[in-house]
Structure 1
């Protein structure tokens, strides 16, 4: 991949024709970064506030003019919200590891992906993960990979559907890091993969396995996606269309009828109109229509997190039960399931074409 080196120390060496005082140069490799949303470092007020400040200051997430939004954020939102968010995080926190489930799961995904890629490419590849907000930061991971000799990096935001507040924001942060590097690695970003056949099969497998383990079959499967303001759709963001297509492709993969599966959106924030129907209201309406047992799946999330483990498993479940529902079945995200890892591996291998031998 680069000029030959004379080995001086493990993983590094001198360029073959360089002077004796030339600094060691690591052997050229390809890096793969799995990028997820992020998590606070702890559940106390200040840890949650730091995380929310970074998250809600991102203009991909809240795109109001900074002079309007920042006073509201700093003086009102961040005075109150860390208390409620901290309580929500405490209800799902991985106490054994003292970290959020999102961090635990993303690390587990990375461990499995490392094993898969090492088996294919040996020491020619380095795998790591980063968070858009919180730790490990995008900057720290990309810098570390560059120092390890990764001259080329596949940067993989773990969002099946492209969204400006998610995929684009993750890519933005990667590019900001590159902007400050004297010697930038070549970088490839991974496109949306919601329609990849192996991903859809893994998603269908998770539904079929969940249904097989239930005493009664749900009369409705609700695919709940994280919401965005409705105007994003009008401004050209493809997220809504890709969510709707994900539901259709999943339904077809399962062989379900249109009446068996609904699409809804959760996590509304702020006063403007968001994509709908809102999951929390939709499940209550299903209960009032006579549906006693429903299942909910979250195809926009690659890992279970506060939006699934707290919002769906608590708030949305409570809404359904309070309206007359009897059985609420949440189908976990694909997390580190082997078929999910194989789907992500297929996507990565496609992006590695020309950089590493075809496998």
Structure 2
């Protein structure tokens, strides 16, 4: 797309708000209404956080957003991109990430250890600390399995 000097407008949106508490925004539904007000009649939803089909993709996105909200908003076509599910290239990529961490003896990426901007949730810090305590266990396990040549 870059070589063609072409780009599609896109928005990062959020879904699955439950209850009266504030949630992340903008919502997917509000964004579809907003696109319609701007004259857009077609949209594709790409659920980057959902790699597998489940209730939120199959019902919330496919039925509620792609059908019900799209119709109410006056959109002609709203579709969800296909989930990765058990795609061989996706599965191989995940396996390579795991193997890379095992070979390096690192329980997670450096990026994972960064605190999200404005995050004050104490459970995030506890999670990061727990993962770092697993470094020695991972190192010991990896040495045993490397010496047994269980993965090359």
TM-score when normalising by structure 1 = 0.28
Aligned equivalents of 1:256 and 1:307: distance in 2?
Answer: 31
Measured against aligned partners, the alpha-carbon deviations of 1:22-70 in whole angstroms (never above 9, x if no partner) come to xxxxxxxxxxxxxxxxxxxxxxxxxxxxxxxxxxxxxxxxxxxxxxxxx
2:2 counterpart of 1:266? no
Q: 2:77 aligns with which of 318, 322, 327?
A: 327
CA positional deviation for 1:256:
5.9
Unaligned 5+ segments in structure 1 are 1-250
Q: How does 1:1-359 map to 2 (within 5 A)?
A: 257=7, 260-317=9-66, 318-353=68-103, 355=142, 356=146, 357=149, 359=152
The answer (yes or no) to whether the contact 1:304–1:335 under 8 Å persists in 2 is yes
**Paired residues, what number?**
106
Structure with bigger strand share is 1
Q: What is the CA–CA distance in structure 2 between the aligned matches of 1:298 and 1:286, rounded to whole Å?
A: 17
* Bigger-Rg structure (1/2): 1
CA distance in 1 between partners of 2:9 and 2:75 (Å): 17
CA contact (8 A) 1:281 1:319 kept: no
Structure having greater relative contact order (Cα 8 Å, sep ≥ 6): 1
Give the TM-score, by structure 2 length. Answer: 0.62
Alpha-carbon distance in structure 1 between the residues aligned to 2:6 and 2:93: 22
In structure 2, list runs of 5 or more residues that go unmatched. 106-141
Aligned in 2, Cα 1:329/1:256: closer, same or farther, shift over 3 Å?
Answer: farther
Aligned residue for 2:26, secondary structure, equals coil
> Which runs of at least 4 in structure 1 moved beyond 6 Å after TM superposition?
none
- Whole-Å separation in 2 of the counterparts to 1:351 and 1:340: 17
Residue pair 1:266, 1:279 contacting (<8 A) in 2 also: yes
User: For 1:315, what is the secondary structure of its paired residue?
Assistant: helix
Q: Deviations over 1:230-254 (max 9, x none)?
A: xxxxxxxxxxxxxxxxxxxxx98xx
Aligned-residue CA RMSD (Å): 2.2
